[in-house]
């Protein structure tokens, strides 16, 4: 029995409960150490034909082959008590370094998450009251964007949020591109106006798109300073494409956790505009972005059972 750690060859196993694929050491089935022997490497999602090919290779006892061109790999591990895990081998003798290479490469390319959507409003408190009454979405006081004339309230959703944004200082707003945009967006009333994607590599995103990242900050009512970097702000305000953000804060200070509780998060967005241009702007990703007919920009957002 091979008990060396870390292993150099792996067995790919399919969870009988959820169908996701994980990688385990060759001694998994005999050692009895189910989760201890699992490597948190990834779920492999391919077309039905690819899945059949992988199973056929396993049935012929041929080495499994992983390729970034064949399979979409992302970090994921089946959860649940170990006595509920039903794992079935589907490929054996897979090179661990090849698996790691594919996982890390594709993970780096797809490091984008829904961070927040911006709803431009004329009155922060009034808009917050309407969201609570209509959808049961609670909000928390946000803060002011120093020197820009705008301020916000936050509707926390866990790892993402809805930002209610309004002009709060008319003097600062005179020379602020952001404040002018808010005024334009609210000419006919409150509306979803922009969407923002989170990344851990804002410089990489900016370099790919020929942008620069801009540092920004605001102070919460409790005195905590929130700092972040944005890329693509001006393009987003003028075209409806998303902007990108990287937070320079502790994870517990993310606005999505402003009420101290978890939430459903943002699951999808519905947007209008040129689908090809949007795809080029986003790059490789795992986001549920639904392109529909209509003007460029965000139309709707999915929050649990709510379509806002």
**How much is the pLDDT for 61?**
32
Cis? peptide before 6, omega within 30° of 0: yes
Backbone φ and ψ of 101, nearest 5°: -60, -45
Full strand arrangement of the beta sheet holding 297-303: 289-292, 268-272, 297-303, 306-307
Mean pLDDT of 140-163: 92
Mean pLDDT of 257-271: 91
Residue 53 has pLDDT above 50, yes or no: no
pTM for the whole thing? 0.67
In this prediction, residue 97 has a pLDDT band, given cuts at 50, 70 and 90, of low
In this prediction, residue 59 has a pLDDT band, given cuts at 50, 70 and 90, of very low
Mean pLDDT of 8-31: 48
Q: In sequence order, which residues have a C-beta less than 8 Å from that of residue 39 and are 6 or more positions away?
A: 6, 10, 22, 23, 24, 25, 96
**How much is the pLDDT for 191?**
96
Listed range (103-117, 237-251, 270-284) with the worst mean pLDDT: 103-117
In this prediction, residue 259 has a pLDDT band, given cuts at 50, 70 and 90, of confident
**How much is the pLDDT for 111?**
77
Q: Which parts of 86-233 are beta strand (E)?
A: 87-95, 113-120, 140-145, 150-156, 161-167, 191-198, 213-219, 225-231
Q: In this structure, what DSSP letter does residue 63 have?
A: B
Residue 48 has pLDDT above 70, yes or no: no
**How much is the pLDDT for 11?**
56
Residue 81 has pLDDT above 50, yes or no: no
Return d(Cα 52, Cα 46) in angstroms, integer.
Answer: 10
291 forms beta bridges with: 271
Residue 73 has pLDDT above 80, yes or no: no
- 162-218 pLDDT, tens digit per residue, is 999 999 999 999 999 999 999 999 999 999 999 999 998 898 889 889 999 999 888
Percent of the chain exceeding pLDDT 70 equals 64
Residue 76 has pLDDT above 50, yes or no: no
Residue 254 has pLDDT above 60, yes or no: yes
Mean of the per-residue pLDDT values of the chain: 75
**How much is the pLDDT for 93?**
59
Listed range (6-10, 64-68, 181-185, 297-301) with the worst mean pLDDT: 64-68
**How much is the pLDDT for 218?**
82
> Contact 286/199 with Cβ under 8 angstroms?
no
Residue with tokens 């039905």: 48
In this prediction, residue 8 has a pLDDT band, given cuts at 50, 70 and 90, of low
**How much is the pLDDT for 84?**
36
What are the chain's domains? 9-109 (no CATH), 113-307 (3.10.180.10)
In this prediction, residue 104 has a pLDDT band, given cuts at 50, 70 and 90, of low
DSSP-derived pairing of the beta strands 113-120 and 161-167: parallel
Q: Which parts of the chain are beta strand (E)?
A: 9-15, 21-24, 38-39, 43-45, 72-74, 87-95, 113-120, 140-145, 150-156, 161-167, 191-198, 213-219, 225-231, 243-247, 268-272, 289-292, 297-303, 306-307
Buried/exposed code over 85-96 (b: 16+ C-beta within 10 A; e: otherwise): bebeebbbebeb
In this prediction, residue 71 has a pLDDT band, given cuts at 50, 70 and 90, of very low
**How much is the pLDDT for 160?**
96
**How much is the pLDDT for 95?**
61
């Amino acid at each position: 029995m091979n008990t060396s750690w870390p292993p150099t060859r792996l067995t790919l196993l399919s969870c009988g409960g959820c169908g996701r694929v994980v990688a385990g050491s060759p001694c998994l089935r005999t050692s009895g150490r189910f989760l201890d022997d699992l490597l948190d490497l990834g779920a492999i999602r391919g077309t039905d034909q690819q899945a059949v090919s992988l199973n056929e290779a396993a049935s012929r006892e041929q080495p499994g082959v992983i390729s970034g061109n064949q399979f979409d790999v992302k970090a994921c591990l089946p959860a649940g008590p170990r006595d509920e895990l039903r794992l079935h081998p589907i490929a054996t003798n897979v090179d661990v370094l090849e698996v790691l290479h594919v996982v890390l490469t594709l993970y780096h390319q797809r490091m984008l998450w829904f961070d927040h959507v911006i709803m431009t409003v004329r009155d922060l408190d009034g808009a917050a009251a309407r969201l609570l009454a209509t959808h049961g979405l609670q909000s928390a006081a946000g803060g002011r964007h120093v020197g820009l004339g705008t301020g916000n309230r936050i509707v926390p959703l866990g790892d993402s949020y809805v930002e209610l944004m309004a002009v709060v200082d008319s003097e600062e707003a005179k020379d602020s591109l952001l404040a002018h945009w808010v005024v334009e967006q609210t000419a006919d009333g409150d509306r979803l106006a922009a969407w923002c994607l989170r990344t851990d590599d804002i410089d990489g995103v900016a370099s790919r798109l020929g942008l620069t990242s801009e540092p920004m900050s605001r102070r919460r009512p409790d005195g905590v300073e929130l700092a972040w970097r944005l890329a693509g702000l001006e393009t987003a305000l003028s075209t409806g494409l998303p902007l990108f953000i990287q937070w320079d804060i502790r994870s517990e200070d993310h606005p999505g956790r402003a009420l101290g509780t978890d939430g459903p998060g943002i699951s999808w967005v519905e947007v209008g505009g040129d689908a090809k241009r949007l795809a080029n702007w986003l790059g490789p990703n795992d986001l549920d972005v639904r392109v529909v007919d209509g003007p460029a920009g965000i139309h709707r957002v999915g929050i649990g059972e709510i379509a806002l």
